Amino acid sequence: MEQNGKIRYLTRFVVYTDTTRMQVVPLGQDVWIDDETRKKFTYGTQHLLGQEGHASEPQSYVVANWPLIRAAPDPANAKDVVPFILICLIPSSVYPMLPKVTLEALF
C-alpha cells in the first residue's frame, strides 16, 4: 500500500515460544510500517518492542528468522491486497541458543 508516495507494509510481529522455531505467539496487533522501518528489521537485529496499550516495559527481541513478505488481503477492503510482512522474534536472552538460519537452508 502506498501513502504519500511511500510504500507501507501491514506487519505482524510474532515471538517464537522456544528455540525450535515451530510455534509463535503474536506480539500485539498488526501494524503499518513504512519501507525505511521495514529495512531495520533484518535477521539478527535487536529491537526494543512493547505491546500497545500494555503498561509493561518494552522487551528486547532479536529478529530470529528472515522476514517473510507476501501479498495479503487489505483489512480495510478484502477485495484489495496489500504488502504484508511477518517478522519472527525471540527474546534477546534466548537468541544465542538458536541455530543460525542461512539462506542456503531456505532453498
List 77's β-bridge partners, or say none: 74
Q: Which helix (H) or strand (E) holds 106?
A: helix 103-106
Instruction: State pLDDT tens for residues 63-79.
Output: 999 999 999 999 889 89
**Average pLDDT, rounded, for the chain:** 89
Cα separation values, 106 from 15, 22, 43, 58, Å: 20, 15, 13, 31
Identify the pLDDT of residue 35.
93
16-46: per-residue pLDDT in tens?
999 999 999 999 999 999 999 999 999 999 9
Contact predicate 32/9, CB 8 Å: yes
Q: What pLDDT, on the 0 to 100 scale, is given for residue 72?
A: 94
**What distance lies between CA 18 and its chain's CA centroid?**
16
* Separation CA 83–CA 47 (nearest Å): 22
